[in-house]
């Protein structure tokens, strides 16, 4: 798994998260990844995660699909970028992003930094996750 380059406008940032089927067999997947953010001490950053079908790379968002061995799928992660919220409070800086594939309890932790070096610092208490879709986000 890897976090791609950030983009955004109007105070929101987003980044694609790419996952690769590293097994030797195809797998069926689809839906939404579980996402949580952890601070420097490993504690969860308080926030709610919204499943956002509007962040899909296709319309309508894909359901279940088969991912061949070695193929990739992606989803978009969106947050309101800090460093301060509208009240002037510092926004939390995430140290790690915990990603849990759909229909599993296993997870992977990645540094909470986009490929272009943007630290994920969500202001407010909500982030959005788009549905998993086959292929790279274009």
Identify the CATH number of the domain defined by range 2-134.
2.60.40
CA-based nearest residue to 64, from 116, 111, 17, 28? 28
Q: Report pTM.
A: 0.86
- DSSP string of 4-35? ---EEETTEEEEEEEEE--SSS-EEE-B--EE
pLDDT in tens, 32-78: 999 999 999 999 998 899 998 878 766 556 688 999 999 999 999 99
């Amino acid at each position: 798994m890897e976090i791609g380059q950030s983009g955004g406008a109007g105070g929101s940032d987003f980044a694609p998260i790419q996952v690769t089927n590293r097994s030797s067999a195809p797998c069926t997947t689809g839906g939404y990844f579980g996402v949580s953010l952890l601070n420097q001490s490993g504690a969860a950053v308080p926030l709610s995660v919204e499943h956002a079908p509007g962040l899909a790379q296709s319309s309508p968002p894909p359901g279940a699909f088969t991912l061949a061995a070695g193929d990739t799928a992606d989803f978009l992660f969106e947050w309101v970028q800090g460093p301060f919220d509208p009240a002037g409070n510092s926004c939390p800086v995430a140290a790690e992003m915990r990603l849990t594939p759909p229909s599993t309890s296993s997870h992977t932790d990645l540094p909470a930094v986009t490929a272009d070096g943007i630290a994920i610092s969500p202001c407010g208490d909500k982030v959005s996750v788009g549905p998993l879709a086959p292929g790279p986000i274009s």
